[in-house]
Structure 1
Amino acid sequence: MDRPRLVAVIVTALAATAASLLLPSALAAAADAVIGGHSGWRPVLWLLLVGGVEIGADVVGGILIARLTSSASAWLRRRVADRLFALGTRSPFAEGDAISRLTGDCVGAGGIVPIVVQLGSATVISTGAVVLLALLDWRLALVFLGSIPFALLLARTHLRNTADDVLAYQRVSGELAARLLDAVAGLRTIAASGTADREAERVLRPLPRLTLAGRGMWRTQARMVWRAALLLPAVELVALTAAGFGVLDGRLTIGDVLAALGYVALGMGLVTQIPLLTTLSRARSCAQRLAEVLDADAPDRGRLGLLPGHGTLELRRVTVGTALTDIDLVLPAGTFTAVVGRSGSGKSTLVGVLGGLRVPNAGEALLDGRGLHRLRPEELRAVIGYGFERPALLGTTVADAVGYGSWAGDTAVRGACRTAQIHDVVARLPHGYQTPLAETPLSGGEAQRLGLARAIVHNPRVLLLDDATASLDTVTEAAVEHAISAVLPGRTRVVVTHRTTTASRADAVVWLDNGRVRAVAPHARLWRLPDYRAVFTEESEEPA
């Protein structure tokens, strides 16, 4: 939190508060001086000075509040992002909901302190105005105090009625964001399958609940606005009437009447600030949603230090939803294993479990005898490299994308690109490895090879490739595999593939069928089985 800026906001709020309380008396003195025909400029100059201080403090305070809100939002984003990264793949928050919390909720919660400062300032002004009104004429103060119970009841009712609606609105907004993100990620699949209408219905299904919460929130707001709009002029009218009797009795001057009206308006400041209670309620709801993230317990990963072993992977009775069921599997260190099966058989899920990206609902995944769930993200990154069918390339330049998440220098990056058979393509770019990613047109196969280079540059103990060479022709794929074997000898490799040529080069093939391991054996032995051959006849040998 930006403490100096917070102190500055409080100081300017105090200056504005003091000026607001002094302004009615300054106006009264100036008015009486003018009406009385006095030629002194001192009351007028005092009025101008107090008014200038109030305006200046309000302007500076507005700027400081905006900056404080932005810095607080950024601070919250860092904390929430750190917690989400610590939760990793074990996060209970859907991607869209997490994004909603990182964006809207951080902004909303970041405004809590300025809102509290403004409400505190309004409270001080209202209290001070009542005291000054009593000093001016205790009868006017009694008249004003008669309106306080109505104002408190109005504020209490508004805050109570709007809190639940605001929280419901925030939660449903997060749910909508999560559904929309899922739909955007599968946009091409939705378009190809002709299910756009059905998917739109699924995404918008929470909309009635959002509408209900929004209507409830704004209905409460509307009731508050018209009640406050009636209460303020009613109190002013009663106070003006009482002040008129004071003028007739000779207790008050015309300037005193102006001051009394000013104090009444300031005293009712809390009523005019009631809309801030809606903002405060929304900010509290945002803070509550952020607290859910910050209070989520990250897995206790222990302190393992340098991990011993050579890369033996083991699954013990692993079950993941409906994707995998009761999987027992041992992949010895240094072996090359191909994972095959029909679409939907659980291949990607299996690789995700082997790499610690998916947490089993039951059973355990082990690396060299140690549970993967105990490893920190940096430990997983040090021992396991991943290659994906559609890699997300992150960073400013091509070199950044390949070295992302590692301390690799230029030499290591170029070596990894040569192994992945992508160096020549990068070298022909306008600025070579320093070409911005945004200006780098890449085909599917080229993007895959950059993702593969990113996995290689970590020098991992285990290399997991989830269809990471599917867009390469068979000749290039074979060259990449040969280069990996030469550069990373003795590494454990697991490759999801649809090609017989790749499966034939593997030491063993894990054949998945409906989420279960149907067989583990060399490709040549399994090829004798018609059902195994049928797995490959359904897939194209060459990329589209």
Structure 2
Amino acid sequence: MATTTSSEHSGKSNWRAFVRLLIQANPPKLVLSIALGLSIISTLVGLVIPLFTKNVVDSFSISSLSWAQISGMAIAFVAQAIASGISVYLLNYAGQRVVAGIRDRLWKKLLVLPVGYYDNNQTGDTISRMTNDTAIIKGLITEHMAGFITGIIAIIGSIGVLLYMDWKMTLIMFSVFPLAFVILFPLGRQMYKVSKGLQAETASFTSVLNRVLSEIRLVKAANAEPVEYNAGSSGIQKLFQFGLKEGRIQAMMAPLISFVMLMLLVVLFGYGGMRVSSGAITAGQLVAFMLYLFQIVLPITQITQFFNQVQKTMGATDTILKVLDYEEENPHAGETLQNASQSLHLEGVTFSYKEGEPVLKNVSFTMEAGKVTAIVGPSGSGKTTMFSLLERFYAPQNGSIKLGQDPIERFSLVSWRSQIGYVSQESPLIAGTIRDNICYGMQREVTQEELQRASQMAYADAFIEELPDKYDTEVGERGIKLSGGQRQRIAIARALLRNPKILMLDEATSSLDSKSEVVVQQALQNLMQGRTTLVIAHRLSTVVDADQIIFLDKGKVTGSGTHQELLETHDMYREFAAQQLQIQDQQFQTIEPQAMKQIRLASHSEVRA
């Protein structure tokens, strides 16, 4: 009994959630009302037609036919067809508007969800919410809702007329329906379970496709085609199995409905024939009975399909609302940052992605305004996490980060992030032109002079001018048509154009060859001038001139000072430096003097360019 109560409560909750989702999508109420009104008119006209037929059959002779009767039936048929056609179009329009409204809300929501949401949800699942689940809701509105409402009216109207014409034959005829309901109801519950499983598996399969196709070069380079084929094939087989289950349920439903229909026809013609022969009813009434029977059975099929679609829609509603109800960022909440040229203070910052597994532990240090602070340490020590906290992708569990005397949470996300320039190890580019990528995120029109100036300071203008379409050159998905050094310089130009006061460099040159590194380093020097800069680097050669070096180990600050101070006071840093210098000496010795000279000349040549 408790299970039943829980199930009923869940069903009511799902309906309330669905209605809430529709209302929030701001459906065109007038259009829906007109569409449903026309559908009802079409159904009512359909209820009158069997009565016309009855009169024609009962008084059938050429002389008895009047133009009024013929014209009346013709007008009824035409009116029904016109009303039905307009209704279908308006319902389709309303459904498309509702889905567009839901998708617009979803898209807006996805852009303001915190990074933590994307850490815990696969991209393919999220895409499925936007495409597949919203399409299911559209199907319910455009294809099934009108059929359900008009079907109910048709059934009630037909039963009313039949009871009026001959209540005894009506009751005998409908004695079949309770049996059909007992059989079909469990099948409907099974269809609900299958539909939910099918939606979940579709989302999972979409995730696999998105992951593999977005990293197809990695797949090919690693010879991972067989592995990924097996993963995709497994998803296809699961979808196939769910499709078979759905097919089996539908295969049982269709014959059962046909069986009910045949039983009704047998009862109708057997008992009805007896009633006609005894004179209790006329032949015209028997024909009308048959036509009304069709107006009952066909809507029952529509109603069954409606409830099947409802089960799918309830599942889709649940998953969409989980996204829409997720706690979001408010980009504009807080004060506008007026002066970002102040020192940054980390005071006792502790952060963990998982409870009980801290990545940063009681971290405290100060980044002086306009100076360079470098963070070094072994991999996994929390360096990149610190960047994420500064960009406010996450909030520390303990401690605070302050700009001057103010916690950074005091400022709106929009104004805070507009003051940060970020250049990473693999600077992301969007599919589009070089101009699109340099100007990405700018809220104003960027002039050609500003674009060229930023490119010159980033040492990107030389290679851009050599391209056939210059700034309108397509970079390909994720910038694949450009080299690593070119991508980095475009990222630096993007940062220069934003003119940030706080700069974060995350291994900005570690993946480059020596020639590209020289050029990018010079571009970074231009970018760093007069800005509060935080640098992450594994190679000490890129940070030895920093104003301050913070040594981070296992989430804790174990030393701070200049390069020389840490060499004298910090054992791990000294060991770290010794290893670095030894590796650099070995690399230097493997290059012949003439080759070194060519590299230096080429590097200086590109810098001058």
Q: TM-score, normalised by structure 2?
A: 0.77
Corresponding residue for 2:23? Answer: none
Asked if 1 retains the 8 angstrom alpha-carbon contact of 2:112 and 2:331, the reply is no
Asked if 2 retains the 8 angstrom alpha-carbon contact of 1:33 and 1:43, the reply is no
Q: Deviations over 1:486-520 (max 9, x none)?
A: 4xx2x222233454442234333444556655544
Question: Radius of gyration: which is bigger?
Answer: 2
Q: Is 1:82 matched up with 2:118?
A: no
CA gap of 1:422–1:15, structure 2 versus 1, over 3 A, is: farther
Q: Which of 389, 405, 410 lines up with 1:353 in the alignment?
A: 389
Corresponding residue for 2:457? Answer: 419
Work out the CA distance in 1 between the residues paired with 2:41 and 2:580: 78
The one-letter code matched in structure 2 to 1:333 is A
Q: Deviations over 1:52-106 (max 9, x none)?
A: 3333333333333333322222211111222222222132533222111111112
Q: Deviations over 1:371-402 (max 9, x none)?
A: 66676542342232323344443486543432
Q: Is 1:479 matched up with 2:522?
A: yes
Corresponding residue for 1:337? Answer: 373
Q: Is 1:72 matched up with 2:98?
A: yes
Work out the CA distance in 1 between the residues paired with 2:415 and 2:538: 30
Work out the CA distance in 1 between the residues paired with 2:261 and 2:409: 62
CA gap of 1:427–1:333, structure 2 versus 1, over 3 A, is: same
Work out the CA distance in 2 between the residues paired with 1:43 and 1:447: 80
Corresponding residue for 1:493? Answer: 533
The one-letter code matched in structure 1 to 2:454 is A
Asked if 1 retains the 8 angstrom alpha-carbon contact of 2:114 and 2:329, the reply is no
Aligned-pair CA distance for 1:130: 0.9
CA gap of 1:311–1:176, structure 2 versus 1, over 3 A, is: farther
Partner SS for 1:137:
helix
Q: Is 1:116 matched up with 2:145?
A: yes
Partner SS for 1:305:
coil
Q: Deviations over 1:252-275 (max 9, x none)?
A: 444332221110111123421212
Partner SS for 2:370:
coil
Q: Deviations over 1:331-376 (max 9, x none)?
A: 333332334456655543332233223455x445624266666765
Aligned-pair CA distance for 1:285: 0.9
> Which sections of structure 1, spanning at least 5 residues, go unmatched?
none
Aligned-pair CA distance for 1:282: 0.7
Asked if 1 retains the 8 angstrom alpha-carbon contact of 2:475 and 2:482, the reply is no
Asked if 2 retains the 8 angstrom alpha-carbon contact of 1:77 and 1:106, the reply is yes
Q: Which of 113, 119, 131 lines up with 2:160 in the alignment?
A: 131
Q: What number of residue pairs does the alignment pair up? A: 539
Q: Which of 64, 67, 70 lines up with 1:38 in the alignment?
A: 64
Aligned-pair CA distance for 1:462: 1.8
Work out the CA distance in 1 between the residues paired with 2:253 and 2:364: 65
Corresponding residue for 1:319? Answer: 352
Aligned-pair CA distance for 1:461: 2.8
Corresponding residue for 1:230? Answer: 259
Work out the CA distance in 1 between the residues paired with 2:532 and 2:54: 87
Work out the CA distance in 1 between the residues paired with 2:411 and 2:204: 30
Q: Deviations over 1:112-163 (max 9, x none)?
A: 4343332111111111111122233223322333233234435533332222
Partner SS for 1:324:
strand
Work out the CA distance in 1 between the residues paired with 2:217 and 2:380: 18
Aligned-pair CA distance for 1:446: 2.4
Aligned-pair CA distance for 1:477: 1.6
Q: Is 1:24 matched up with 2:44?
A: no
Q: TM-score, normalised by structure 1?
A: 0.85
Q: Is 1:283 matched up with 2:313?
A: yes
Q: What's the % identity of the aligned pairs?
A: 22
| CA RMSD, 1 decimal | 3.7
Q: Which of 233, 241, 261 lines up with 2:270 in the alignment?
A: 241
Work out the CA distance in 2 between the residues paired with 1:199 and 1:465: 34
Q: Is 1:51 matched up with 2:51?
A: no
Work out the CA distance in 2 between the residues paired with 1:317 and 1:284: 41
Asked if 2 retains the 8 angstrom alpha-carbon contact of 1:327 and 1:516, the reply is yes
Q: Which of 464, 473, 484 lines up with 2:504 in the alignment?
A: 464
Work out the CA distance in 1 between the residues paired with 2:407 and 2:172: 74
Map 1:190-205 onto structure 2 (within 5 A): 190-194=219-223, 197=226
